[in-house]
């Protein structure tokens, strides 16, 4: 599918959107996605990159089951448990940090809050309320909440935007480690190509709206250990794909 280079690995998740349109403020219909198929290989880490407003977030919302008003279907044959990191942290303001994480976790799962807080560096604020946190800390908690449920499918919408370089790097490292160990399938939306190259093993370059797949680039293994030369080469490939579309 889409010339996917993952022959042999079964697809864990597939989104088919025949048509998805928004009604804009001036009552005209804007087609966001048309004849779009995205398949995620099991335990793969796919990064979607594309211009803002091209329909990335819409695609993620459809994958999360939050947007039902489209023509098409979402296939989740193994009923993977869903974890989502939204663009905004979306913590319950009236529950403290520890409660926010505990509430998302099904009752049967072991309590791993302390471990995650330690690895992500927010142990000192576990009993604070979200209004007392900086945006950076709130993002860590939001990531911890999604990882705490040991998700089979992790959806990330620009999870590290507006973080300083050092904390973003730390969070990326924890994310890569955790999904590497658990074998979760990941779909991440970002506009930071270098970040995508650092984390993912498949890069999907999208066009302007309505989004089409311009290129599906398989990155050399292992993920997270790319040299500067590798990164440069992949960047060039991304630019080329975007240029041919324009």
Asked if 82 touches another protein (CB under 8 A), the answer is: yes
- By CB under 8 A, residue 30 contacts another protein: no
Q: Under rule CB under 8 A, how many of the chain's residues touch another protein?
A: 22
Q: Is 65 near another protein (CB under 8 A)?
A: yes
Closer CB to another protein, 154 or 217, in the complex: 154
Burial class from Cβ neighbours inside 10 Å (0-12, 13-18, 19+) for residue 91 reads buried
Quote the least distance from Cβ 72 to another protein, whole Å.
20
Positions in 125-184 near another protein (CB under 8 A): 129, 131-132, 145, 149
Q: Are strands 29-41 and 45-49 parallel, antiparallel or unpaired?
A: unpaired
Q: How many angstroms separate the Cα of 206 from the Cα of each of 36, 85, 118, 165, 200? A: 11, 21, 36, 26, 15
Q: Considering only residues 78, 88, 111, 232, which one is a binding residue for another protein as defined by CB under 8 A?
A: 88
154 or 238, CB closer to another protein? 154
Contacting residues for 140 by C-beta, under 8 A, at least 6 apart: 120, 121, 122, 167, 171
Contact characters 33-62, another protein, x per CB under 8 A: ------------------------------
- Where do the H-state alpha helices sit in 85-209? 97-104, 113-120, 135-148, 165-182, 193-199
- Contact call for residue 103 and another protein (CB under 8 A): yes
CB of 184 to another protein, least distance (A): 15
Closest distance between another protein and the C-beta of residue 135, in Å? 14
Residues lying near another protein in the complex (CB under 8 A) are found at 64-66, 82-84, 86, 88, 90, 92-96, 103-104, 106, 129, 131-132, 145, 149
């Amino acid at each position: 599918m889409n010339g996917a280079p993952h022959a042999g690995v079964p697809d864990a998740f597939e989104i088919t959107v025949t048509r998805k349109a928004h009604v804009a403020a001036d009552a005209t219909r804007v087609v966001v996605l048309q004849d779009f198929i995205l398949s995620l290989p099991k335990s793969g880490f796919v990064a979607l990159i594309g211009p803002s407003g091209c329909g990335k977030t819409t695609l993620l919302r459809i994958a999360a089951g939050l947007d039902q008003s489209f023509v098409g279907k979402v296939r989740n044959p193994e009923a993977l448990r869903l974890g989502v990191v939204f663009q905004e942290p979306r913590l319950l303001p009236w529950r403290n940090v520890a409660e926010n994480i505990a509430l998302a976790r099904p009752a049967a799962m072991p309590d791993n809050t302390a471990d995650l807080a330690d690895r992500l560096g927010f142990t000192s604020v576990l009993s604070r309320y979200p209004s007392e946190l900086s945006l950076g800390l709130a993002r860590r908690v939001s990531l911890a909440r999604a990882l705490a449920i040991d998700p089979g499918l992790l959806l990330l919408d620009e999870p590290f935007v507006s973080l300083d370089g050092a904390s973003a790097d730390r969070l990326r490292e924890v994310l890569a480690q955790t999904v590497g160990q658990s074998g979760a399938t990941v779909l991440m939306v970002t506009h930071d190509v270098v970040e995508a190259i650092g984390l993912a093993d498949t890069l999907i370059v999208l066009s302007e709206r309505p989004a089409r797949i311009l290129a599906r680039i398989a990155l050399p293994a292992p993920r997270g250990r790319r040299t500067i030369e590798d990164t440069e080469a992949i960047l060039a490939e991304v630019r080329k794909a975007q240029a041919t579309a324009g």
